[in-house]
């Protein structure tokens, strides 16, 4: 349904290696094992364009450029002081990758202006 609703869009997915993700709690490992991302990506690719993205530092890089070591749900950048939901920050980084852009403070400010700020 999502592929149909957003036909013509490019959908980016992190090209994750499941084997490297089995390092945490038993519950986490089970959730990773149950997730069938390849099938989801395949189904999305059937009706729309899919791009696999490099997941390296997607959740550590500030969407304005600097790489930090965030902890918790809130991402706080030591370089520029950005405070943003950690998942949203990772999404912004992946979006920049889909568009073939490098993170920068100027680009981040421009995107935030165009999108009307963060929800």
Among 2, 52, 67, 80, indicate the residue that binds Zn ion (CB under 5 A).
Answer: 80
> Of 58-77, which residues contact Zn ion (CB under 5 A)?
62, 64, 66, 77
Residues contacting residue 66 through CB under 8 Å, at least 6 positions apart: 77, 78, 79, 80
Distance in Å, CB of 102 to Zn ion, minimum: 13
- Does residue 93 touch Zn ion according to CB under 5 A? no
Least CB distance from residue 89 to Zn ion, whole Å?
Answer: 9
What DSSP string describes 55-92? -TTTTTB-TTS-B----SSEEE-TTT--EEEHHHHHHH
Q: Which residues inside 1-40 make contact with Zn ion, applying CB under 5 A?
A: none
Q: Classify residue 32 as left (phi > 0), alpha (psi -120 to 50) or beta.
A: alpha
Nearer to Zn ion, 13 or 90 (CB): 90
* Positions in the binding site for Zn ion (CB under 5 A): 62, 64, 66, 77, 79-80, 82
């Amino acid at each position: 349904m999502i592929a149909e609703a957003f036909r013509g869009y490019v959908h980016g997915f992190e090209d994750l290696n499941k084997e490297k993700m089995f390092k945490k709690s038993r519950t986490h490992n089970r959730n990773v094992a149950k997730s069938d991302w390849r099938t989801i990506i395949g189904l999305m690719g059937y009706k729309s364009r899919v791009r696999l993205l490099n997941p390296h530092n997607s959740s550590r890089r500030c969407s304005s450029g600097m790489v930090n070591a965030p902890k918790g749900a809130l991402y706080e950048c030591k370089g520029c002081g950005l405070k943003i939901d950690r998942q949203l920050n990772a999404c912004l980084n992946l979006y920049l990758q889909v568009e073939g852009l490098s993170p920068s403070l100027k680009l981040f400010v421009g995107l935030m202006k165009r999108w009307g700020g963060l929800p």
